[in-house]
Amino acid sequence: MPVLPGAEPFRHEGGEVGVLLCHGFTGSPQSLRPWAEFLAERGLTVALPLLPGHGTRWEDMQLTGWQDWYAEVDRELRALRERCTRVFVLGLSLGGALALRLAAKHGDEVSGVVVVNPANKVHGAASYALPVLRHFVPTVGGIASDIAKEGVTELGYDRVPLRAAHSMRNFYRIVDGELPQVTQPLLLLRSPQDHVVPPVDSARVLSRVSSTDVTEILLEQSYHVATLDHDADRVFEESYSFIGRLAPGVGERSGAVQAGQQEGTATGG
């Protein structure tokens, strides 16, 4: 199935510091593309993969689960580690949970974590209904485009596949148990007005990680997809400052990279 225009993964060969960006559930790299390009323009090596089952049609997502999504970002992290001296993991919503698990599992190989409105749990009646409901109802209404900024839309599915949602529910439980293993510096940015992920999820993350270098920033003008919203520039600038503080000289290119520097390219999956 062809990837939807705009949903393609993005990669950029830059300097010795790398960043891996993880998009959200039923979304696509489009929601993080401006963030990825911002970091690429400042000399970082960037990987923004397309999670399996995403960016095509919701029926494809029914065939995937958290193991597939996590395996994809795990592969990308390992590839970045082969060519970068420092690697940071960044994520939005489900992507935040993926980034936190990468940090928990890879330890010192991850230099820092940046999460935007990270998801930690499926809330309400849906959490209890999913194990049974998924066998009878294939989808419910979509969750994409929770954005305050007028005229801006997120490229995501208009339906939520319940089989995949049940897998996501199980994944959040696993990640929650692993949060104490997260010791890296953490930057958490959240929107008080979020119609997809409630503030309690961010509070839970902050209360359970073992990180001692923790910064929380409120995005007062944005909804869930803050990376495309009014506070997008702040997300980009704060994350770049965070990375620069932990990796002095960020954006500087090695001689080999300078010699063969290429423009950032989007590659379809």
Look up 239 and say whether it is catalytic.
Answer: no
What is the model's pLDDT at position 250?
Answer: 79
Residue 137 belongs to a domain: yes
pLDDT, tens digit, for every residue of 67-79?
Answer: 999 999 999 999 9
Range of the domain at 52: 10-248
The pLDDT-based confidence of 256 (bands split at 50, 70, 90) is: very low
| % of residues, the chain, pLDDT over 70 | 90
Residue 2 lies in a domain: no
Region 242-253: mean pLDDT is 83
Q: What CATH number has the domain bearing residue 91?
A: 3.40.50.1820
In a domain, 268, yes or no: no
Give residue 141's pLDDT band: very low, low, confident or very high (50, 70, 90).
Answer: confident
pLDDT band at 142 (very low <50, low <70, confident <90, very high): confident
Tokens 């909804």, located at residue: 223
What is the pLDDT, as a whole number, of residue 137? Answer: 75
- The mean pLDDT value of the chain amounts to 91
pTM value is 0.91
* Active-site annotation holder among 28, 31, 93, 145: 93
24 domain-assigned: yes
- Asked about 224 being catalytic, the answer comes back as yes
> Is 194 among the residues known to form the active site?
yes
Comparing 137 with 262, which gets the higher pLDDT?
137
Q: How confident is the model at residue 249 (pLDDT cuts 50, 70, 90)?
A: confident
Whether 263 is in a domain gets the answer no
Say which residue, 251 or 33, is predicted with more confidence.
33
* Mean pLDDT for the stretch of residues 114-143: 80
Residue 28 has pLDDT above 60, yes or no: yes
Contact at 8 Å (CB) between 119 and 59? no
pLDDT of 260 strictly over 60 = no
Whether 262 is covered by a domain: the verdict is: no
Catalytic residue among 12, 23, 54, 224: 224
Across 134-166, b (16+ Cβ under 10 Å) vs e yields beeeebeeebbbbbbbeeeebbbbebbbbbbbb
Catalytic residue, from 23, 31, 191, 194: name it: 194
Query: Is position 135 within any domain?
Result: yes
pLDDT for res 261: 39
Task: Please tell me the total count of domains within the chain.
Answer: 1
Confidence tier at 253 by pLDDT (50, 70, 90): low
**Residue with more model confidence, 195 or 143:** 195
Is residue 258 a part of any domain in this protein?
no
Determine the average pLDDT of the residues in 120-135: 74
